[in-house]
Chain A
Amino acid sequence: MERREAQWGFLFISPWIIGLAVFYAFPIVASLLLTFFDASLTGAERNFTFIGLDNWIRFFNDPMAWKALGVTVRFTLLVLPVGIFVPLAVALVLNSKALVAPGLFRVLWFLPYVIPFVAGIIGWLGVIGQNGPLNTLIELFGVQDAPLWTNDPGLIYPALVLMGIWGIGSAIVVYLSGLGGVPTELYEAAMVDGAGWWASLRHITLPMITPVIFYNLILGVAGSLQYFLVPQVLNGGNGSPEGSTLFFNIYLFKSFFTYQDPSYGATLAWVLFLITLGLSLILFGTQKRWVYYAGGDR
């Protein structure tokens, strides 16, 4: 009977298993195997040759790949703190009892998130453009030569971070749910002990929502390393200005499709995966030191 039930169970979940095998497992394994072959579509020879670790060695000697990795790391270091702390700060304000009409503000902060991101980016390009409202505002303060935000290597990252703030609605919602889960009796006890707002935040709120911060941190790291959509929409992935938006994922995409070199593109994809995995494991390794799970150790 149990065996029969199991068979029925497998039958019912078989679409999912087949989907997983065909659309995830197979491409993952195939892409790994591809890294050991020369499958370039260009050139006179039509070979699909086993080349061992050549693609991996090529990565270590590819200045453009390292440049793209450097761009991605620099941007991650800039965007990650903003992506973690700005939504946290907003969530704290939205969770405050002193705020009038908190529901309205929550909706307003979340609204941009539901707008297709590509449309949002195009809108932002108008805002930060040469003659856009941001520069008009800056000129009101007496700045004669308003900056070219998207064409200045020194300003492009702040511009990208600014655009990124547009999409923090999701993180705010996660923080709000975390803040809602902090037991109110802890605040009442702290108040009895004479703790003020700052002490409550530091000793109760932040420790209690560290799992949520950790969750956002993991997502933020993975998201930053895979940054693709904004530069692709911004300039078609051409890396301008001066290569400062040649993110690793853009280079990976170009290697696959623009340069018609799928085996090297697959290698770059695996490099990105290994870096993301490594950083995630490091972060998971640190969580014992700073993440508090009320239900016990994880």
Chain B
Amino acid sequence: MKQRKWRLSAITAVMMLIAVACGGSSSSTAPTEVVQLRWFVGLGTGTDVETQVPVQQEVVDAWNAANPNIQVTLEVVPNADAKNTLLTQNAAGNPPDVVGPAGVAGSNGFYGQWLDLAPLISDANYDLSQFPAAAVEAFAVGGQGQLGLPFASFPSFMYFRPSLFEEAGLNLPPTTYGDQYEMPDGTMVDWSWDTIREIGMLLTVDSAGKDATEAGFNPKKIVQYGYAQPWNGAPEWASWFTPGQFLQSDGKTIAAPDGWVDAWQWYNDAAFKDYFMPNADTSALEEWGQGNAFPTGKIAMGQSYTWYTCCLGDVLGEDWNIASTPSNNGTISNDLNADTFRISAGSKHPKEAFEFMTYLLGEASAKLLVIYGGMPARAADQDAFFATLDEKFPQGVNWDIAKASYANASTPSAEAYIPNYLKARDYIYSDFTPLLTKKAMNVSDYVTNTFIPALQAIADESE
């Protein structure tokens, strides 16, 4: 009798469990299922807790309020840990749905782990004509599909300090692409990297007031340099001379693109032969900005991207402006950084993730672009964006240069994919330090005999 009672109780309990379990999926009684999405921030910009995270949270809150069936959680991971965290999440089968903003380099380390957006774009009839075709094309990766859509662009150009030019009796750099530069003797020359060398030396001054072209100039007592290169690495430096990528069309062979060796030699000569650019040892000093020399106020020119406005400091005040990127052999090559959002290939809710992503690219973009410092890829939004920058930098920066830089964007990107990307990129950025550390370097020998064979070996490892 007792045994029968227990059996009955057990059957009742099992039936209750079944009823509860089935009840959850009953469409007639339960509310519509809420999709939970995760937005992962950290691979690029977006991690500043004071200026960026609160705005991103506002954007998420606004979305959640308007979309009760698709709720988004913002996950911000410090940049230094973001790559490892995301790779681990992906490997564990727990990828976030939307990732970004992230640039080309930040995304290349996740080869094969992004969703091809083409079917979603097609299903949603998403209008791509709002973006420049070239910008859309830039995110179409061979063999993987349309991995992103244009969002923020960071064109590059020449930052310069007008007062140092005036002090040296030099004309200011041209502010329109194609314009020539008037040298002190009145001759008109192309605004080229050769010209940068010439006026860079005139703008480099030692403690006795002599410039780098004068006899008796002391390179050990330089108090002002004509040019400095803020951050970045050898591929970017070279791509401002001529576009290219290490990986050749066969997808296997690694080679130095045409013109890159000459470009790198230009930098080594600038630091150790012509002395108009600080070498690595000097750059590391506090008085020269520890790697970011232009804001010290003692540098006349420096080529960088739109995002560099983040880091100009207080010393320069309003005494800076921007000029055209110099040409090389008559051609301008403007390396372009581009950040966007992507969807993880392993996302369980790709359709909803795409919906949220288009919100970030559209309605929320005005707020986000300001905190990221990125130029809107959508041409219609660019004037409003630069108006906000004008409020911040009231000296009248010639932003037309930035807009025009887009037209000369170099393709392929300096950050283009290489097999075994994480190791290859680490090697490129680590092993190219001799450019600014080794006196009188024969760059051609180094590239041919050391650099390229080593990079090829790294790329071959991926096989």
A residues in contact (CB < 8 Å) with B: 41-46, 58, 62-64, 129-131, 148, 150-152, 235, 238-243, 254, 257-260
Contact = CB atoms under 8 A, between A and B. Distances in A.
List of 5 A-B pairs having minimum Cβ-Cβ separation, nearest first:
A44-B112, A238-B430, A151-B437, A130-B281, A240-B433
B438 A64 contact: no
A42 B285 contact: no
B431 A242 contact: yes
Interface in B409-459: 420-423, 426, 429-431, 433-434, 437-439, 450, 454, 457-458
B281 A257 contact: no
B84 A42 contact: no
A131 B285 contact: yes
A203 to B, nearest CB: 49
B10 interface: no
B91 interface: yes
Given A148-B437, A242-B438, A129 B281 contact: yes
A130 B91 contact: no
Nearest to B423: A259
Contacts of A243: 431
**Which bracket fits the contact residues of B?**
35 or more
Contact of B422 (A45, A63, A259): A259
- The listed residue with most B CB atoms (<10 A of its CB), out of A41, A63, A260, is A41
Nearest to A236: B430
B128 interface: no
B280 A151 contact: yes
B430 A151 contact: no
9 contacts: A42-B87, A42-B110, A42-B421, A130-B279, A130-B282, A151-B281, A240-B430, A254-B423, A260-B422
Interface in B282-299: 282, 284-285
Contacts of B421: 42
Given A42-B421, A46-B91, A238 B429 contact: yes
Interface in B263-283: 279-282
Interface in B82-102: 83-84, 87-88, 90-91, 93
Nearest to A148: B281
A135 to B, nearest CB: 10
Contact of A239 (B90, B280, B431): B431
A42 B109 contact: yes
Nearest to A239: B430
Contact of A258 (B285, B422, B434, B438): B422
Interface string B109-131: 11111000000000000000000
Report which residue of A42, A45, A151, A152 has the largest number of chain B beta carbons within 10 angstroms of its beta carbon.
Answer: A42
A90 B69 CA distance: 74
B173 to A, nearest CB: 30
A258 B426 contact: yes
Contacts of B112: 43-45
B219 to A, nearest CB: 10
A62 B88 CA distance: 25
B426 A129 contact: no
A260 B87 contact: yes
B434 A241 contact: yes
Contacts of B113: 44
Given A240-B430, A254-B426, A259-B426, A41 B437 contact: no
Contacts of A64: 454, 457-458
Given A151-B281, A258-B422, A260-B84, A42 B111 contact: yes
A238 B233 CA distance: 13
Contacts of B454: 63-64
Given A238-B433, A240-B434, A260-B84, 5 more contacts: A41-B91, A45-B112, A46-B93, A238-B430, A241-B437
A133 to B, nearest CB: 14
Contacts of A151: 280-281, 433, 437-438
Contacts of B285: 129-131
B422 A42 contact: yes
Nearest to A243: B431
Contact of B457 (A63, A148, A238): A63
A240 to B, nearest CB: 4
A243 B458 CA distance: 15
